[in-house]
Amino acid sequence: MSKPILVSVLMPAYNEEEFVAASIQRVLGAPLPAGVHLELVVVDDGSTDRTRCTVEELAARHPESIRFLRHASNRGKGAAVRTAIEAARGEFGIIQDADLEYDPAEYPKLLAPLLAGRADAVFGSRFASAGERRVLYFWHALANQLLTTFCNAVADLNLTDIETCYKAFRISLVRSIPLRSDRFGIEPELTIKLAQRQACLYEVPVSYYGRTYEEGKKIGLRDAAAAFYSVLRWGLARDIYIDPGARILDRLARTPSFNRWMAGEVVPALGASVLEIGAGIGNLTRYLAPGRKRYVATDHDEEHLARLRVAFHGRPNVTVARCDLSRPEDFAPYAGQMDSVVCLNVLEHVADDVAALRNIHSALAPEGVAVILVPQGQTIYGSLDRVLGHYRRYSEPELRRKMERAGFDVTGVREFNRVTRPVWIWNGMVLKSSTFSRFQLLVFDRLVWLWRRLDRFCPWGAVSLIAAGRKR
């Protein structure tokens, strides 16, 4: 029996005394897929009418379903949505305005791709086929179409309605994104940043019962202009991770030529069944998994696992599972089964690395091979290592010794990537940077074909070591 799933409905409200009670009642009565439960998080954004009193009364009547938060002054829809996201307890979230323009009866349609593991976020489109909508303003619709086209061009998407207020998503994903727009710019900002995070987006048709300005519609020409600016601003900024370590990994993930180079160094040692430790969001998995009979991509981070499940949903040979390198119990399901274990840039994150190597050893079949890639050279340990959470950098003798203590016959250790050592020292020890510049990485990745040829001629040590160890 699968565990219950909690969905958080996020309702920003500002001066909606006429509609908010009916909106809340419709949310509480909405149909839900089997096994799904709902909480409603209402954020009053400094209303000056009776919105606050109305919501407080309903929250007192339904304390198990409604949570009420309040801004002391009006800060805008984006600020209210941010507050609701931070307070949400659910696995998934749905933004639901308090104005009756969108129908909660369509929640099952929005949630279906998320629950099936096909999507990271789902947009409810007012302009896709199969939904009914009230016919209203031409100029408003034209501005929406122009904005959607502009946003699609910047983000390389093909959405039909980026300004939809019906957006459903995995809470952990959106919570890891810095959202900064206070007003209606939250819609294009969220769209752009989801695209930059390479989230898998789905769109479903929804009904739309729009209001006239006389009935209380709040968005206007100023907000349309601000939305165009928001698309341009966030399209250029790439401000998509709160965690500084994740920002570095994101920039490294945008070096496909380098990732192919690294994968190419590892692939020849892998067998038919492979356990990958620390797969992240699958930047190397996509190069290592093809041709394997069984490939298990693991990570200990729940958000990474969710992204992996979506990314490899259609790959029958790929399984996604939680596995913490420091926990022996996480390796028990694979004991003695795997031909190969690949662990790239993970061992240095574990305090007890010998115990971690023993865990890897336990998953291998007799004569199975572990491929371990680690950073080399404690003398160049700097700010980048600290941001990434590295306990150490290795020397070849240290890595050999620790693998042998874990039970491996070390069949070879070689250096990898000499060419970037001066850049690593410059960024991490001289500039004491917390990330790499996008320009540096762009130039580096475009010239990987050259660096590969020059690498063996560099007179200094490499940034990384790659070791292969066979199970005794």
Rounded to whole angstroms, the Cα distance separating 470 from 403 reads: 10
Residues 242-260 have a mean pLDDT of 88
Residue 213 has pLDDT above 70, yes or no: no
Residues of 37-50 as b/e, b for ≥16 C-beta within 10 angstroms? Answer: ebbbbbbbbbbeeb
Amino acid identity at 229: Y
Q: Between 207 and 135, whose confidence is greater?
A: 207
The single residue listed with the structure tokens 């510049």 is 437
Q: If you ran DSSP here, which 8-state letter would residue 429 be given? A: I
Q: Give alpha helix (H) positions in 76-199.
A: 77-87, 107-115, 138-155, 171-175, 186-196
Domain limits, the chain: 5-241, 245-471
Residue 335 has pLDDT above 80, yes or no: yes
C-alpha closest to that of 349 among 391, 399, 300, 395: 391
Q: Between 134 and 301, whose confidence is greater?
A: 301
245-471: what CATH class?
A: alpha beta
pLDDT in tens, 122-131: 999 988 765 6
- Compute the mean pLDDT over every residue in the chain, rounded to the nearest whole number: 93
**Integer angstrom CA distances of residue 100 from 19, 126, 227, 288:** 7, 14, 23, 49
User: What is Dmax (Cα atoms) for the chain?
Assistant: 78
Reported confidence tier of residue 1, pLDDT bands at 50, 70, 90: very low
pLDDT in tens, 342-360: 999 999 999 999 999 999 9
C-alpha closest to that of 469 among 386, 368, 380: 368
Predicted pLDDT of residue 216: 58
Reported confidence tier of residue 248, pLDDT bands at 50, 70, 90: confident
User: Nearest-5° angle of CA 275, CA 176, CA 153?
Assistant: 95
Range from 125-129, 190-194, 342-346, 410-414 carrying the lowest mean pLDDT: 125-129
Predicted pLDDT of residue 353: 97
DSSP string, 187-214: HHHHHHHHHHTT--EEEEE--B-PPPTT
Q: Which two tokens stand for residue 348?
A: 């240095």
Residue 251 has pLDDT above 90, yes or no: no
Predicted pLDDT of residue 244: 85
CATH superfamily of 5-241: Spore Coat Polysaccharide Biosynthesis Protein SpsA; Chain A (3.90.550.10)
C-alpha closest to that of 97 among 226, 184, 194, 205: 184
Range from 136-145, 261-270, 292-301, 430-439 carrying the lowest mean pLDDT: 136-145
Range from 182-186, 223-227, 263-267 carrying the lowest mean pLDDT: 223-227
The rounded radius of gyration (Å) of the Cα atoms in the chain is 25
Rounded to whole angstroms, the Cα distance separating 48 from 186 reads: 23
Q: What percent of the chain has pLDDT over 70?
A: 95
Reported confidence tier of residue 437, pLDDT bands at 50, 70, 90: confident
Those residues whose C-beta lies under 8 Å from the C-beta of residue 148, and which sit 6 or more positions away, are 159, 160, 161, 162, 163
pTM, two decimals, is 0.84
Predicted pLDDT of residue 138: 75
Predicted pLDDT of residue 129: 63
Predicted pLDDT of residue 209: 81
Rounded to whole angstroms, the Cα distance separating 263 from 275 reads: 15
Predicted pLDDT of residue 115: 96
C-alpha closest to that of 174 among 4, 8, 388, 5: 8
pLDDT in tens, 42-63: 999 999 999 999 999 999 999 9
pLDDT in tens, 442-453: 999 999 999 999
CB-count exposure of residue 381 (10 Å: 0-12, 13-18, 19+): middle
pLDDT in tens, 55-91: 999 999 999 999 999 999 999 999 999 999 999 999 9
Range from 109-118, 223-232, 256-265, 273-282 carrying the lowest mean pLDDT: 223-232
Query: Do residues 368 and 470 lie in contact, with contact meaning Cβ atoms separated by under 8 Å?
Result: yes
Rounded to whole angstroms, the Cα distance separating 26 from 100 reads: 9
Beta pairing class for 121-125 and 36-45: unpaired
Predicted pLDDT of residue 212: 60
Predicted pLDDT of residue 137: 65
Residues 387-404 have a mean pLDDT of 97
Predicted pLDDT of residue 434: 87
pLDDT in tens, 267-321: 999 999 999 999 998 999 999 999 999 999 999 999 999 999 999 998 999 999 9
C-alpha closest to that of 234 among 182, 184, 196, 183: 196
Rounded to whole angstroms, the Cα distance separating 67 from 60 reads: 9
